[in-house]
Amino acid sequence: MRERVERRLQEAEDRRSRSAAPSGASPRPAPPDPDQGVAAGAGSEETPLRPGGTPDWDDHWTEGEEAPRPAGPTLPARPPSRLAAFIATCAFIGKVPVAPGTAGAAAGLIAFVLTRNLPGSLPVTLFGVAVAVGLWAGARHARDLRQPDPRSVVVDEFCGMWLALVGTNPSFLVMVAAFVAFRFLDIVKPPPIRQVERLPGGIGIMADDLVAGGVVRIVLLLALGM
């Protein structure tokens, strides 16, 4: 009797447990994986992959892209002046590989010899024109070469040597002495020759040789009374 009662109680308990569970229950869906969303959009052209918050100007240029140009109009580069190069180098005498300054001073001595017998003040006038043109040509050619005082610019030695003798009537030995003295001063550059060489532009290129030629001229006038 007792066993029968316990068996019925157990069956009732089993029926109660089965009725408590929901018959149509389905498992809860798992939350979406964020990595799957990124991977799905990686191949889309409308949503390119890019780190969040990175501005456009942080991108590096690739080889095929063109770098941005500065705003405003751009002026074309000025071509070198062939006329300035011709005058500044004294018909390209300054292009000689050895002692171009000596070659330029020799050209100035030749210019003096060729003009010494011209009438009146014409030799002095020609010398003044040579200085004025040489100032422009030396400055322009130096800018074209992007150098403060190019070695090939010898119009300053040309004019300095001419200044030492223009308007005088020296002998051959005096001309040789003047040439040697001028080259010595131009190479050593004692004061004030070295100081005036530091002047800007074409003035600095020409001034030291004109001062050296002027010193030689003063010495000749005082020593020889020419």
pLDDT tens, 165-218?
A: 999 999 999 999 999 999 999 999 999 999 998 888 889 999 999 999 999 999
Question: What does the chain come to in residues?
Answer: 226
pLDDT at 60: 44
Kindly give the residue spans of alpha helices, DSSP state H, lying in 172-225.
Answer: 172-188, 193-197, 201-224
**Ranges of each domain in the chain:** 82-224
Mean pLDDT, the chain, rounded, equals 80
pLDDT at 61: 41
pLDDT at 193: 92
Report the range of poorest mean pLDDT among 17-21, 43-47, 114-118: 43-47
pLDDT tens, 20-70?
A: 555 544 445 555 554 554 444 444 444 444 455 544 434 444 444 444 555
Is it true that the peptide bond before 70 is cis, omega within 30 degrees of 0?
no
Kindly give the residue spans of alpha helices, DSSP state H, lying in 116-171.
Answer: 122-145, 155-165
* Amino acid type, 65: E
Give the mean model confidence (pLDDT) for residues 84-111.
96
pLDDT tens, 132-165?
A: 999 999 999 999 999 998 999 999 999 999 999 9
pLDDT at 201: 82
Which one, of 203, 103, 194, lies nearest residue 154 by Cα? 103
Q: Give dist(CA 186, CA 101) in Å, integer.
A: 9
